């Protein structure tokens, strides 16, 4: 898990260096795919449930699962790049929202809040803690900043399988269940600037806000320890 997650983190850093005006999301996908294969790994999303690409690239109002295509990035865009790799029998996943070129202060504030929400959710993790504490911490902070947490998409167990139990809700909830030492799962809250509904396109993957509100997401794979948590995809 550590090796897979370390590779995912390194590849996400690399993907971020490619985010520039006029670059296409297809070009980023191809470059990352090449590096994954070169590292002796497999891109976890490719072929998963029919997913046709090696990474997800979600631009501006795209909430998640954006398919890389011929879209050229523009100055001021934001793009979430989600990298998942399968290495020596284990999956590791991480994502980050990058700014293309220059962004205005309101966008920088939004991204800072989204990243802080992830950090806040991670901070409560340790053996014996209720999963629901993650969602409570994240939603409280998002509300404080004036943003909204997307409830539809969740974190999840990850290891020999890409998606497994437990499901990690990022919004306030009363679900039962406690963390156990040795567990690995993702925490990946998505924030949107204004309260909006999510709509999935006919391709069955790409999900966007119905009113064009922008979305931001940050994700880490974490390992629960007896005294706290280890961030396996820390870059």
> For residue 191, what are the β-bridge partners?
149, 216
Distance CA 49, CA 183 (A): 25
For helices 25-38 and 2-17, angle between their N-to-C axes, nearest 10 degrees: 140
* Residue 77 marked in a binding site: no
* Residue 127 marked in a binding site: no
* Residue 105 marked in a binding site: no
* Residue 163 marked in a binding site: yes
* Residue 188 marked in a binding site: yes
Distance CA 172, CA 110 (A): 20
Distance CA 117, CA 114 (A): 5
* Residue 235 marked in a binding site: no
Tokens of 215: 């979305």
Q: Long-range contacts made by residues 42-45, C-beta under 8 angstroms, separation at least 24? A: 42/85, 42/86, 42/87, 43/84, 43/85, 43/86, 44/84, 44/85, 44/86, 44/91, 44/93, 44/162, 45/82, 45/84
Q: Residues at the annotated binding site for a divalent metal cation?
A: 82, 156, 188, 219
Binding-site members are 65, 82, 156, 163, 188, 219
Residue set of the binding site for substrate: 65, 163
């Amino acid at each position: 898990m550590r090796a897979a997650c370390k590779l995912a983190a390194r590849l996400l850093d690399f993907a971020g260096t490619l985010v520039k005006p006029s670059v296409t999301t297809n070009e980023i996908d191809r470059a990352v795919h090449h590096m994954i294969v070169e590292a002796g790994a497999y891109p976890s999303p490719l072929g998963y449930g029919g997913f046709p690409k090696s990474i997800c690239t979600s631009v501006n109002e795209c909430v998640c699962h954006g398919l890389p295509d011929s879209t050229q990035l523009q100055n001021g865009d934001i793009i979430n790049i989600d990298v998942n790799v399968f290495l020596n029998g284990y999956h590791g996943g991480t994502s980050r929202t990058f700014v293309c070129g220059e962004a205005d202060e309101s966008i920088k504030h939004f991204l800072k809040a989204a990243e802080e929400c992830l950090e806040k959710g991670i901070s409560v993790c340790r053996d014996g803690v209720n999963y629901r504490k993650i969602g409570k911490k994240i939603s409280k902070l998002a509300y404080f900043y004036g943003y909204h947490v997307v409830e539809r998409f969740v974190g999840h167990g990850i290891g020999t399988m890409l998606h497994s139990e437990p499901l990690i809700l990022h919004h306030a909830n009363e679900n039962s269940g406690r963390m156990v030492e040795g567990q690995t799962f993702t925490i990946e809250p998505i924030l949107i600037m204004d309260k909006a509904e999510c709509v999935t396109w006919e391709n069955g993957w790409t999900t966007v806000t119905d009113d064009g509100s922008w979305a931001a997401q940050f994700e880490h794979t974490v390992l629960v320890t007896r005294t706290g948590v280890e961030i396996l995809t820390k870059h």
